Amino acid sequence: MTDETWQSDVLGTMERLIGVEATATVASEWDEHAARDKVEVTFLGPYSSGKSTLLRRLVVDGGERIPSWLTVSARRETFELNAVDVRALTFTDVPGFAAGSELHDELAQDALALSDAFLLVVPPQLLTSNRELVGSIVSGEYFFGEPRPGSERVVIAVIAQADSLGIDPDDDLDGMRQLAERKQSELISQLEDTVGASLPELQVFCVAADPYEEQARQLQPQRAAFDPYRDWDGIDALTDALDALPARRDELQRAAGLRYFCRVAGAVASQARAVVDELEASAEELRARQTEWTQQKALLDAVVEAARADLQTTFVALAGALSDELGDDQAESRSQIDSRMTAAIEHWAQRWDGEIDLVLGEANVRIDERLARPRAKRTEAFLRSLTVGQDTVEATATNSRIVNLLNDIKGEVDGIARDTFELWAGEPLDQLLDEARSAATATVAATRLAEATDAGTKALKMARFLDASLRIADGVMSIVTIVEAERRQQELDAQRRRQREAARDRIEADAAIASVEIVDGAGGEPGWRARADAAVEMLRERLGLTSHDNALDDLLQTVAAKQELVSHLEALITDAPRH
């Protein structure tokens, strides 16, 4: 795979993860760097290692004026990224590692993403902190996620303040040089031990950028002021190594491109992996809630169906009893039918209201237990986090080109995660969360149930006036008439037996119609089951579910596609072309 093909694949995969705009920014940042006509060398090292002093010396020896921001004092000077051009090189100074500020460390690390080479500056005591970070930079692990042989070719290591190693060169020049060589070997061994591999092409120099600090207080020291120490201060050898970098520009820029795109792609993959994993876990949590809701809905539906069947049986039994009991006085019989049916319906409603309350009570207990689980709380916290702005690393008047980029990528990942959930929910995520939260309150739940209960009560009061009830009464009166005729005439012919059976069939049919109308409603008015339907809806909202049957399946398919993209991006980083 060529560098161009690999880079195109990386950007294409990132575009599907974080969107066109953010990906275009990633590409433009690299294009801007690649268009530079100078090799960019980034200074790295612990605070107080001598970076600023060394940079001042290189600027002076290069015939340039020292910029106003480049000073040396007992204070921590470098709080932002600064750059200065010296001949064919651009030196970028970054905050020292372990400077006591998370912001400074962040700027120092992110500045690495767009550099052609690195100048690692350490004090005479070598690396006493941040050894793992420095080792990962030298080995390439910081950029590629694993060590890459040859990554040390872009690093020049400098042991600064050689005049304070312990031997004064004015007293024992050979001894000082031998000590410097020993320090160089110690630094290489220290880094190789940290990396766990040899670093055969790592260049290490021991220098005294400002011998005896004679020029530390001079704003613009002269080059000639350092001439008395050039035989032993090591600057000329370091300058030669730096001057060799422009000839390697193509090689350095190719390696820089691989590091940059792996670094940014790694950040995208890491952030997307964390968010998509949470998306998947949240979707699975919602699937479990949907299963819970489906089970509770089935129980309430079963109660409604049982109630409807019981009501129909009650009507048929009552009709049979009334047929045997009532006389042929139409007005009185209809009054008794009306009274008995009303009492039967009220008794039926009281019984089945209790059944709904029992199922609903058990359902709420189960839902309370589910919503109290750590996974449920984590899901709500995660979804809630997608509705607010993320904390970002900010600095005043810095020229970091990467900090904001990585923060923007994090925002894009979170934004896409939010969009994914809102597509599933069919409404804004914060609105969905607010609905779930409000539906879980006792006041809202009680209000909804009360409204549903009122609807059921109204339906029951209307039942006595339904046409179906009147039809039942007509059937009962038909039987009453026939029974009276039997009592008077003591014999029935075949025609009357058929009439009686027809009347009973009519009662059963009308009882079925009446039970459906009372339970399900009629004429645009809700029926008794409105209470159960309201309970089902309340349970759904408490669980934070949408009403779309296939929504969760669609959500999980979307999450799986995102997971696949993240895995592909991770594989691209692993398979990045070698230097």
- pLDDT at site 447: 60
Q: Mean pLDDT for the chain?
A: 82
Check pLDDT > 90 for residue 254: yes
Instruction: Supply 502's token pair.
Output: 């027809």
Check pLDDT > 60 for residue 42: yes
8 A C-beta contact, residue 226 and residue 215: yes
For 288-321, what is each residue's pLDDT tens digit?
Answer: 888 899 999 999 999 999 999 999 999 888 888 8
Q: CA-CA distances (angstroms) from residue 358 to 303, 469, 535?
A: 10, 29, 12
Check pLDDT > 60 for residue 491: no
Band the pLDDT of 393: cuts 50, 70, 90: very low
Lowest mean pLDDT among 269-278, 391-400, 411-420, 484-493: 391-400
Check pLDDT > 80 for residue 99: no
Check pLDDT > 60 for residue 227: yes
> Which helix (H) or strand (E) segment is 500 a member of?
helix 494-520
pLDDT mean over 101-129: 76
pTM, two decimals, is 0.72
Band the pLDDT of 108: cuts 50, 70, 90: low
Start-to-end Cα distance in the chain: 13
* Closest CA relative to residue 187, chosen from 127, 106, 136: 127
Check pLDDT > 90 for residue 138: yes
- pLDDT at site 315: 86
Q: At 215, phi and psi to the nearest 5?
A: -110, 10
- pLDDT at site 75: 47
Residue 569 CA to residue 11 CA, distance in Å, equals 9
Delimit the domains of the chain by residue range.
Answer: 40-244, 274-392+399-574
Check pLDDT > 60 for residue 547: yes
User: Quick one: the chain helix, strand, coil %, rounded to 5?
Assistant: 70, 5, 25
Q: CATH assignment of 40-244?
A: 3.40.50.300
Rounded (10°) CA dihedral 173, 174, 175, 176 = 50
Residue 507 CA to residue 320 CA, distance in Å, equals 9
- pLDDT at site 130: 80
- pLDDT at site 439: 53
Query: What contacts 505, CB < 8 A, 6 or more positions away?
Result: none
